[in-house]
Structure 1
């Protein structure tokens, strides 16, 4: 994770937090139960099923995601 991202401070966060995924086509949110949350400073990658979502770590510890980056973790990291 750190090698691919080039971020020596990247960490795995506890998945025991609120995660929301914005729905562009609707005015609501999905609330997945993530298996993994990776943090790269304020940006995060959240794994839900076989999909990686990109988002941001909010001040209260929750994560707001805005898009799916597919199932390939290395590609999602490169998209940061």
Structure 2
């Protein structure tokens, strides 16, 4: 599984665009799910990149970035897709 940032991206660029000098990549060896709106149910994600911005996270699954929150147990619960463009997803933070 690829855990690399998209071509042309570095963690420094992520930090600069987000304005968060503490942004870090996280291990993908954790539970990541997408909350199904209005159903109280969750779909599992298969992330190949997870970026943490304090409690908020961006999770990439199959080329699509999902916004979520890091839970106390280390899992990530996502609530929406922010598309395939990392810059746009970061702007959505």
**Residue 41 of structure 2: aligned partner:** 28
**Residue 5 of structure 1: aligned partner:** 18
**Residue 66 of structure 1: aligned partner:** 79
Instruction: Identify the range of structure 1 (26-35 vs 48-57) with the bigger mean alpha-carbon deviation.
Output: 26-35
Report the CA distance between 1:33 and its aligned residue.
1.1
TM-score by length of structure 1 reads: 0.96
Unaligned stretches of 5+ residues in structure 2? 1-13
Alignment length, in residue pairs?
80
Unaligned stretches of 5+ residues in structure 1? none
Secondary structure in 2 matching 1:54: strand
Bigger relative contact order, structure 1 or 2 (CA pairs below 8 A, ≥6 apart): 1
**Residue 54 of structure 2: aligned partner:** 41
- Which whole-Å CA distance do the structure 1 matches of 2:46 and 2:64 have between them? 12
**Residue 76 of structure 1: aligned partner:** 89
Report the CA distance between 1:24 and its aligned residue.
1.0
Report the CA distance between 1:25 and its aligned residue.
4.9
CA RMSD in angstroms comes to: 0.9
Is 1:52 aligned to 2:65, yes or no? Answer: yes
